[in-house]
Amino acid sequence: MVTRWKIFKGKYITKFSTFLLLIVFLMIGVSSALNIYLKVKNYESIAVKNYLESDSVSNDLKQAVNRLEYVMRVYKNEDYILRGGTVENIGIKDNQKLAELYNDYLAENNYEDNQEIRELFFLEMEHEIQVIKESIIASDLASYEKIISELNLPQGYIYYATDGENETTNTGNPNKDYYLLHNAYILLTEKGIELKPDNGSDVSDPLNDIFESETFNKNLRIYVAIEDDSLLQRVNRWNSDRQILMRNTAVIIICTFLVAACFSYLISSAGKVGGSDGVYLTSFDNFYCDLNLMLIAGIIAVCRMEFSTVLNIKSVSENLMRLAMLTITAVVSAILLILILSLARHIKKRTLIKHSVIYLVLSKSLEILIKMVASGPLMYKTMGGVLLVIIASVYAADKALLIFLISIISTYIVYKKVTHFHKIQEGLQIAKSGDYDYKIKLDGKGEFRQLSEDINELTSGLKTAVQNEVRSEKLKTELITNVSHDIKTPLTSIISYVDLLKREGLNSDNAPKYLDILERKSNRLKKLTEDLFEAAKATSGSIEPKFERVHINSLVEQLLGELDEKINEADLIFKVSASSDRIYAKADGRLLSRVMENLLSNIFKYSLTGSRVYIVISEDENYVYVSFKNISAYELNIPVNELMERFKRGDESRSSEGSGLGLAIASSLMEAQGGLLELSIDGDLFKAQIHLDKF
């Protein structure tokens, strides 16, 4: 028992440790992922070691060229925007507000759209149109300044762009050779695109669309380069990002394998306790499986929806965001793991479907429906069936084949019911003749099946009643015989010795011996009479126990102390053991003491001289047990249930001094206290065990 407990305890600690390790490894992995998210800008660096060999350089230069091309094509420069260059040839469809103003103009004057009306619109609505143009100029100027501001951020770009008439630059140097002196540049001229470093990127392909555009200005020139100091900073940042990526990616991969290993162990060991077979459920498994799955899906859905919200905490504090993410990871992973392991145990126990609300509702609904149908009166069912056949026949009046099928089905059902009825009649006739072992066997379900089962139970009950009556008559006969014998024996002795005293006189030498025998026989007759009355009183149920808190340990010690002289005379060795020093039972102390006295009396009479007698006191959550075990002086070949009968003795020769009522009285007294007396025999080993409610 201790070994099994150690195994169980060890398994539990291992499982719990693995559970915690899984969460820890998962948090470490998430923390590494957050390091990448918060610290790394160039994710490409994990695959490309050298920054100048990456697509990042080309993509940055390409983006700068695209922005400058858009500026030169749309905005030109700040002066161009301010003097109205971007709105000089604006059309009605080029601006939403202008289109809305034109549509209102048409509606108010009931005009139809044509070129003449459009010219008239620009003349009559000149003031309103000018307000719109000024708004467009302000918007274009803001967009231009935003693009130029982004290009002029501390990114190390130097650039020059011109369309032949307008130019924009942050160096003032239009010399192409100046940009060629740098280690990273891109040049857009009428000849095409020149890129350094040229790492085979397809960056030039999108830029070729500029040349193919119908609005392409052949005088367009764009020179962009990255200053060497800024390029060195980019290389250093690239190398730093690569180190962070490599280190944290390795941690994530290791943690992934460790999490998978822990999860596999928890799944494989779910439901197993110690070295025992079978699957054991926990209190968590009382939660229905379908609700479990819904909760898992709900948690995952909420996490997905709120994931970006948690990431946005970064704008307040990166440390706060990291703490929130790790806390959520720990709590959510623990909850999900508990729910998943519960599902795993149900899958192993094959109760995944049965332990669900849907199955419970459907099964209960079906059960109620079946009971409603089965419990309805037979007349209602028959009439309902007839009515259904009539309706079907009316509906199928012009369909001969359908009517034929209905008739066949109806005939078959009637035939089955009549067959069942005849089997029930046959079974009743057999039972009437006295054969109560015959069972009526009907297949299917329905009223006749239920009726046959009721008749089978009735015949079984009759058989039991008859057997009990026969046995009762036999016991009555045995009782009379045993009482007559046990009373006649001491009474005959008393009469004989009284006659001897009359003939020899009280002054004879044998008188004291005769008186001693008369006293013993009288006491035995008195004891037998008292036992008879007590047995009758106990079995009649007229004893009213007075329940109290009984200290079993003290009661056993007290009885053994009182019977110490008999123990020594019987030459028996008593071994008393208890699972606790204080074991209390709900019992009548006087009746319980008499039960134990009777059991000990049996032990004194029938135990092998010099043998050991074991008394074991134990308890569990609800009951108290007192076991008496002894070795009989001879082998017991009597059925256990017969030992409980009155006047039944272990020695069939009836040579012992007992009345044969001790165990019968003890059993009745235990029943009066709501307890139980159990006997068991194994060869010459006799065991009696008392069951009582725990106080």
* pLDDT at residue 656, rounded to an integer: 45
Question: Mean pLDDT score of the chain, rounded to an integer?
Answer: 79
Q: Which one of 338-342, 390-394, 468-472, 600-604 scores highest in mean pLDDT?
A: 338-342
**247 φ, ψ (degrees, to nearest 5):** -65, -50
Average pLDDT of the residues in 536-559 = 79
pTM of the model: 0.48
| Polymer length in residues for the chain | 695
Distance CA 25, CA 20 (A): 9
Average pLDDT of the residues in 79-86 = 84
* pLDDT at residue 335, rounded to an integer: 92
Q: Mapping DSSP to helix (H, G, I), strand (E, B) and coil, where does residue 679 land?
A: strand
Q: Per-residue confidence at 458, pLDDT binned at 50, 70, 90?
A: confident
Half-sphere exposure of 414 (CA within 13 A, CB side): 9
Predicted confidence (pLDDT) at residue 358 exceeds the cutoff of 80 = yes
**Strand intervals (E) in 42-191:** 157-162, 167-169, 185-189
Choose between 525 and 70: higher pLDDT.
70
Average pLDDT of the residues in 672-689 = 85
**Amino acid code (one letter) for 140:** D
Average pLDDT of the residues in 148-161 = 82
What's the maximum distance between 2 C-alpha atoms anywhere in the chain?
Answer: 169
Task: Look up residue 297 and give its two tokens.
Answer: 């899906």
Average pLDDT of the residues in 60-74 = 86
Distance CA 575, CA 535 (A): 30
- DSSP single-letter state for residue 174: -
* pLDDT at residue 255, rounded to an integer: 94
Taking only the tens place, the pLDDT of each residue in 1-38 is 444 445 445 567 888 899 999 999 999 999 999 998 88
* pLDDT at residue 23, rounded to an integer: 92
Which alpha helices (H) appear in 354-442, and where do they start and end? 357-375, 378-395, 400-432
* pLDDT at residue 616, rounded to an integer: 93
Average pLDDT of the residues in 683-691 = 87
Average pLDDT of the residues in 570-594 = 88
Average pLDDT of the residues in 325-338 = 91
Chain centroid offset of residue 315 CA: 40
Choose between 619 and 200: higher pLDDT.
619
Predicted confidence (pLDDT) at residue 443 exceeds the cutoff of 80 = no
Average pLDDT of the residues in 572-599 = 87
* pLDDT at residue 27, rounded to an integer: 93
Asked if 531 and 594 touch (Cβ cutoff 8 Å), the reply is no
Average pLDDT of the residues in 322-331 = 90
Distance CA 96, CA 37 (A): 41
* pLDDT at residue 384, rounded to an integer: 54
Average pLDDT of the residues in 532-551 = 70
Q: Per-residue confidence at 348, pLDDT binned at 50, 70, 90?
A: confident
Q: Is residue 223 classed exposed, middle or buried when 0-12, 13-18 and 19+ CB atoms within 10 A define those classes?
A: buried
- Number of Cβ within 10 Å of residue 400's Cβ equals 9
Q: In terms of Cα–Cα distance, which of 644, 649, 554 is closest to 592?
A: 554
Q: Which one of 279-283, 365-369, 541-545 scores highest in mean pLDDT?
A: 279-283
Taking only the tens place, the pLDDT of each residue in 487-505 is 666 777 777 777 777 777 7
* pLDDT at residue 205, rounded to an integer: 57
Chain centroid offset of residue 129 CA: 71
* pLDDT at residue 649, rounded to an integer: 46
Predicted confidence (pLDDT) at residue 654 exceeds the cutoff of 50 = no
Q: In terms of Cα–Cα distance, which of 591, 614, 599, 619 is closest to 678?
A: 599
Distance CA 589, CA 556 (A): 11
Q: Which of 52-66, 214-228, 418-432, 555-569 has the lowest mean pLDDT?
A: 418-432
* pLDDT at residue 336, rounded to an integer: 92
Q: H/E/C letters for each residue in 216-254? A: CCCCCEEEEEECHHHHHHHHHHHHHHHHHHHHHHHHHHH
Residue showing tokens 């390091």: 35
* pLDDT at residue 378, rounded to an integer: 56
Query: How much of the chain, in percent, has pLDDT values that exceed 90?
Result: 15
Average pLDDT of the residues in 654-668 = 62
Q: Per-residue confidence at 334, pLDDT binned at 50, 70, 90?
A: very high
* pLDDT at residue 295, rounded to an integer: 92
Q: Which pairs from 257-260 meet CB under 8 Å and 24+ separation?
A: 258/21, 258/22, 258/25, 259/22, 259/25, 259/26, 259/29
Q: Which of 126-140, 288-302, 488-502 has the lowest mean pLDDT?
A: 488-502
Q: Which one of 203-217, 261-275, 411-425 scores highest in mean pLDDT?
A: 261-275
Domains of the chain (ranges plus CATH)? 2-39+236-349 (no CATH), 51-226 (no CATH), 376-432 (no CATH), 439-542 (1.10.287.130), 543-693 (3.30.565.10)
Taking only the tens place, the pLDDT of each residue in 195-209 is 888 765 554 456 666
Residue showing tokens 């012992």: 656
Predicted confidence (pLDDT) at residue 234 exceeds the cutoff of 80 = yes
